[in-house]
Structure 1
Amino acid sequence: MEEPMHLRARRITREELYQLVWDKPMIRVAEEFGITGNGLAKVCDRLDVPYPPRGHWAKKEAGKPVVTLKLPPRRDEIPSAADIHPTPPKPACSPAEEQAAAAVADRIRDVVVPESSDNLHPRVQAWIVSHKKRQKEREQENNRSRRREINWAPPLIPDLTERDLYRFRATSAIFYAVEKAGGTIEKSPASGKVTFLIDGHQVECSIVEKLMQSLKQWQEQRKWTAFPEYCKSGLDSSGFLRISITTYLKDGRPEWVESQKIKIGQLLPTIVSAIMAAGPTLKEMKREHEEQQKRHREAEERRYEARRLREIDEKRWNKFREYVANWEERERLMAFLTEVEGRLATEGDVTISDRTLREWIEWAKAKAEALNPFGAGAAGMFQTIARVTQWS
């Protein structure tokens, strides 16, 4: 079957790719290839093609000077071109999944993101209480330091900012909605890295501020939050929240980011439906994993059994060859003893050590006869071979 046009790979040379990424923003070039900006950056790295740094196009639009990096000569280990494969579209939801999402949306239709911090979810309200307690303890610690005339005291903990409170309100709405949809909250740290329990499976989510590169002085960075320990330095608030399911799912990790037009309240049914759907997905993934492990064990058992049978067969064959060698040796020995008996007739019987020559011949015949594989017949020989095991 011929591959659909929108899924066909597109070959591009280093020179072509270099021209594209310096003509327009990476995200726009990536869209033309049907991949993400990060995916395009990896292709550039593979072909050793430099691309504009963060903020390049903003500076250029603002009329500020920018630096254009030159395309370096191709080294031997660097390919001259690459095939860029578009990201396949996500499969459409099944009727059952659409029905489940509609049921979740119906159950949480009354849940909204509150405009005030009153009546927040108890888990979120506990964050505010804990923060005030920490503030009070830090203030008391500062007062003690001043009374002792200590030159340094730990800084006071700032009040919750509007961005903190908005995140709390959005998180509260998500908590209430998940519980109404049938899930439970297992872990709920103030960092926003929360864990829900859906159908007995842990679904880890991130309800955090979307951050962006900051151009502010370091003293002004992270003043948008009372929890600077939860974000990296050099980053600033974008003014929007980012919600994502961080638990690995076979269809990827869903993520939602606010914008000027779309807020968390509008995304709430979609977010909660995805969280609730993650439970059955994880259940199915667990079942598939267990089946895969079962198949692996069965394959290992088959390989072990085949190896065991090969070893037994090889040992049985060696036993058969041993019988052949014994038979040939017996035939030689008996022929030799016939010659010895002939000499006995001409030379006469004599005593050698504690035995006569005839007794020595009978002793040798008994030893040679012990090599006979047909002592119990051909069937007896093969019965002995059949009793050979892996550990024989």
Structure 2
Amino acid sequence: MHTEFTRKELYDLVWSQPMRTVAASLGISDVALAKHCKKADIPVPERGYWARKQAGKPTIQIALPPRFPGASDRVGESGSNSYWGPDWAEKVKEIAVPPVPMFDEDMASVEQRARRLVGEVRCRRAFEPAHPLVAKLLARDDERRKDFVKWRSDYYAPRYDAGIERRRLLIINALFLAAARLGCRPSMNTSKYGQDAGSERDICITIGRAHVHFTVEPIKSKKEGQKERLCLAFGAARDRANSNRVWEDSDESRLEGELTEVLVEMLVSAELSYRGGLVRHREWIIERKRAAEAELRRRQEEAERKARELRERLERERIRRLLSQARALDRANQIRTYVESARLRVAEIPMTKAEFEEWASWAEREADRIDPLKSGMIAQAIQEHCEEG
């Protein structure tokens, strides 16, 4: 779909006419239109809605639900590449600056709605059920178990049979299942030995258009004799020390009891990321347009400079040709004067008159050849001057 709408605009459109009519006007199929609406969480009329409406029977128009936290309010975005390329300045100049982002809900309302969406996140004591990504890690653990039996090395020991790594994976599983229930997409490395490296233990949940990265890692207790504690922090592993969202085991509670709050914060964080992205994108467009205007001015000045230099070069060339033709006329006149002077004193020359006249004819022809008036060079020069000037 090449046309871009807000959710409200597309909602009003699909409830104003039958889906096939709307889809045809947009140049797509009604199935494709329905997919766009489903992806944007836009309800569409049920089968038979328009027949009942035309027959005067009562119908119900489903209200447009609020935008999911972190999801885009735009439908049919084309991912334009007009910001780049050799003609980027001309294209960017034509792009309209987006309006200042406005939102129907304040962040307090978004948080309340996120809590209703999340409900309660419970962490089970077993992987029943297991999220598909977690199931892959458990399958990898079975492979490690076989290697452990074969090699008897702790490097191959199963990781998730017991202990803090099992707790960690159970927590991840609970968050992944709850997020998937809301339509979010979890992701993490599931290679056989990738979980050994810190950067490979980064975890992400895609919420709308935002990617919320976090880690769940054991930390050593500050008190001697205490067991390792688990800490969940927003951000990638390399940024963990600077994370502003951290939950961890304490003497009074365990991390498992904080998962509802964690997922709510993820949704809120996704919404903040989306809103901040709109603001930054608008500022970037403004800056890009400013750069485009500067670039177009530079190009215009460069074109004017080159045109000025070309005019100056052509003028110098015309003057050079003018002087060259003037010198040629002088040489032609000198030859003619020389020939006439010689003709007056031909009696002093030791040759026949016929021989002299043959030489004189050749000399006069050469004078005519270099004479710009005789050769037509001056007429060509005058014509070029008129065309250029």
TM-score for both structures, normalised by structure 2: 0.51
- Residue 95 of structure 2 corresponds to residue 100 of structure 1: no
Q: Distance in 2 between matches of 1:205 and 1:114?
A: 20
Change (3 A) 1:243 1:95: same
The equivalent position to 1:332 in structure 2, one of 322, 327, 333, is: 327
Task: Tell me the CA shift for residue 279 of structure 1.
Answer: 5.1
> CA, structure 1 residues 200+346, in 2 after alignment: closer, same or farther (shift >3 Å)?
same
- Is the 1:171–1:207 contact (alpha carbons within 8 Å) kept by the matching residues of 2? no
Asked if structure 1 preserves the Cα contact closer than 8 Å seen for 2:160 and 2:166, the reply is no
Q: Which residue number in structure 2 is paired with residue 199 of structure 1?
A: 208
Residues 104 and 273, structure 1, Cα contact 8 Å, conserved in 2: yes
Partners of 1:344 and 1:181 in 2: how far apart? Answer: 108
Q: Report the Cα distance in structure 1 between the residues aligned to 2:229 and 2:295, rounded to whole angstroms.
A: 55
Question: Alpha carbons of 1:126 and 1:372: their partners in 2 closer, same or farther (altered >3 Å)?
Answer: same
Equivalent position to 1:111, from 120, 124, 140: 120
Distance 1:248 1:166, change over 3 A: closer
Alignment pair present for 1:316 and 2:323: no
Question: Which structure 2 residues correspond to residues 231-310 of structure 1 after superposition, within 5 A?
Answer: 238-246=228-236, 255-258=245-248, 260=250, 263=255, 264-265=258-259, 266-275=261-270, 277-278=272-273, 281=276, 303-304=298-299, 306-310=301-305
Q: Please tell me whether the aligned partners of residues 188 and 201 of structure 2 are also in contact (alpha carbons under 8 angstroms).
A: no
Structure 1 residues 337 and 155, CA, compared in 2 at 3 Å: closer, same or farther? closer
Other-structure match for 2:366: 360
Please say if residues 344 and 358 of structure 1, whose CA atoms lie closer than 8 Å, have aligned partners that are also in contact: yes
Check whether the contact 2:133–2:187 (CA below 8 A) recurs between aligned residues. no
Whole-Å separation in 2 of the counterparts to 1:290 and 1:248: 31
Equivalent residues of 2:217, 2:232 under 8 A apart = yes
Contact 1:242 1:258 survives alignment (8 Å): yes
Alpha-carbon separation, structure 2, partners of 1:210 and 1:156? 18
Query: CA separation in 2, counterparts of 1:178 and 1:287?
Result: 30
CA contact (8 A) 1:326 1:372 kept: no
State the AA in 2 paired with 1:270.
E
Matches within 5 A, 1:151-190: 156-157=157-158, 160-187=161-188, 189=190
Q: For the Cα contact (< 8 Å) 1:245–1:275, is it kept in 2?
A: no
Correspondent of 2:146 among 137, 152, 164: 137
Question: Residue 196 of structure 1: CA displacement?
Answer: 2.9
- Kindly tell me: are residues 348 and 289 of structure 1, through their superposed partners in 2, closer, same or farther at Cα, counting changes over 3 Å? same
Counterpart amino acid of residue 202 in structure 2: K
Deviations 1:111-133 (A, max 9, x none): 32425235454236515632551
Percent of aligned pairs sharing the same letter: 10
Q: State how far apart, in whole Å, the 2-side matches of 1:194 and 1:121 are.
A: 16
| Cα distance in structure 1, aligned partners of 2:312 and 2:221 | 74
Contact 1:183–1:197 (Cα < 8 Å) also in 2? yes
Closer/same/farther in 2, CA of residues 127 and 281 from structure 1, 3 Å limit: farther
Q: CA deviation digits over 1:234-270, x for unaligned, max 9?
A: xxx8513132233999xx9654242526743344321
Rate the CA distance shift 1:125–1:329 in 2: closer, same or farther, 3 A.
Answer: closer
Q: Structure 1 residues 101 and 314 mapped into 2: Cα distance closer, same or farther (>3 Å)?
A: farther
Q: Which amino acid aligns with 1:344?
A: V
Aligned CA distance change for structure 1 residues 364 and 131 (closer, same or farther; 3 Å)? closer
Structure 2 CA distance for aligned equivalents of residues 292 and 173 of structure 1? 43
Closer, same or farther: CA 179–295 of 1 in aligned 2, 3 Å: farther
| Shift of residue 323, structure 1, vs aligned partner | 0.3
Q: Give SS of 2:158's match.
A: coil
Displacement, 1:171? 1.7
Aligned to 1:79: none
Q: Which residue of 1 aligns with 2:135?
A: 126
Distance in 1, Cα, partners of 2:238 & 2:340: 94
SS in 1 for 2:382: coil
Question: For 1:302 and 1:165, how far apart are their aligned partners in 2?
Answer: 63
**Deviation of the 1:290 alpha carbon:** 7.6
Instruction: Evaluate the alpha carbon distance shift between residue 326 and residue 106 of structure 1 in structure 2; reply closer, same or farther with a 3 A threshold.
Output: same
| Structure 1 residue 363, shift from structure 2 partner | 0.9
- Aligned-pair CA distance for 1:198: 3.3
TM-score by length of 1: 0.51
Name the SS for the 2:120 alignment partner.
coil
**Deviation of residue 181 (structure 1)?**
4.1
CA distance in 2, matches of 1:103, 1:354: 111
Question: Residues 166 and 285 (structure 1 numbering): CA distance in 2 closer, same or farther, change over 3 Å?
Answer: farther
When the two chains are superposed, the root-mean-square deviation of aligned CA atoms in Å is 4.7
What residue ranges of structure 2 are gaps of 5+ in the alignment?
Answer: 1-102, 345-355
Query: Given the superposition, is the C-alpha separation of residues 299 and 328 from structure 1 closer, same or farther in structure 2, using an over 3 Å criterion?
Result: same
SS of residue in 2 equivalent to 1:160? coil
Q: Distance in 1 between matches of 2:368 and 2:128?
A: 110
How far does the alpha carbon of each residue in 1:124-158 deviate from its partner, in whole angstroms, 9 at most, with x for none? 6515632551354135425xx9xxxxxx8976436
How far residue 371 of structure 1 moved from its aligned partner, in angstroms, is: 6.0
Structure 2: how far apart are the matches of 1:248 and 1:305? 47
Contact residue 334 and residue 365 of structure 1 kept, 8 A: yes
Structure with higher strand content: 1
Shift in alpha-carbon separation, 1:153–1:192, aligned structure 2, 3 A: closer
Task: Answer yes or no: is the 8 Å Cα contact 1:187–1:194 preserved in 2.
Answer: yes
Tell me what 1:229 maps to. none
Cα distance in 2 for residues equivalent to 1:166 and 1:245: 20
The change in CA–CA distance for 1:283 and 1:172 in structure 2 (over 3 A counts) is farther
Question: Counterpart amino acid of 1:381?
Answer: E
More helix by share: 2
